[in-house]
Amino acid sequence: MNPYDNVSELEKVVAEYAGSPYAVAVDSCTNALLLCFELLGTAGKEIVLPSYTYVGVAYSVLNAGGICKFKTFKWTGAYPIYNTSWDKAVIDSARRLYKGMYQTNTLTCLSGHWWKHLKMGRGGFILTDDVECANTLRRMRYDGRTAGVRPKDDTFTVRGHHCYMLPEEAARGLMLMANMPDKNPDIIADDYTDLSQYPIFQEGYK
């Protein structure tokens, strides 16, 4: 048995639970967001975020070449991130997980952090109903490579990152998903600071 079958199986289980056709497993929700921002084309664009959110979300925008713009608004569990040039929204759902939650035509990012609902330790997922997006994201997470193809036999057409999920993490995820309730309360976000006060997020990377 290929140990990476655990990853594929967990993707199927998470997708079925959330009600999305596809799930792409990565090593964190932060990197899930980064891949989505790069896939949709964020470089040079202003991306509106809540002033109070996890710092990794803002860094994902910067690392994708985007410009952070902050608005102060309250959110619970999840919030959408839009840009007028995108044909779908990115949803930061690190603090929300329940059965059938997926909204069509979105890239919804989940967390597998210890403090979240799926307590894998490390891990994240991108939910999508777009098979082309799913296939591209799977290459992006794996150094731009095609799974099962040796580098010398592969072709490279997308920006690659080293952020795939490990089989042992996926095995833990499968055990946890077997007992996942249909409904989980949103995790309250009360431990964030106002990111708009930091010059690096106002100015971006030079």
Cβ contact 42:204 at 8 Å? no
167 has pLDDT over 90: yes
2, pLDDT greater than 80: no
The predicted-structure confidence for 32-59, as pLDDT tens digits, reads as follows 999 999 999 999 999 999 999 999 999 9
Vertex 12 angle, CA 6 and 16, to 5°: 145
78 lies in some domain: yes
Indicate the pTM of the whole model.
Answer: 0.95
Query: Is 103 within a domain?
Result: yes
Decide if pLDDT at 3 tops 80. no
Q: How confident is the model at residue 4 (pLDDT cuts 50, 70, 90)?
A: low
- Confidence (pLDDT) at 203: 74
- Specify if 188 maps to a domain: yes
Structure confidence by residue, pLDDT tens digits, 105-125? 999 999 999 999 999 999 999
Domain presence at residue 205? no
User: Within a domain: residue 112?
Assistant: yes
Task: Let me know if residue 206 belongs to a domain.
Answer: no
Closest CA to 176 of 121, 126, 129, 137: 121
Give the domain extent around 146: 5-200
Q: Residue 156 belongs to a domain with what CATH number?
A: 3.40.640.10
In a domain, 24, yes or no: yes
The answer to whether residue 155 is domain-embedded is yes
Q: What is the tally of structural domains in the chain?
A: 1
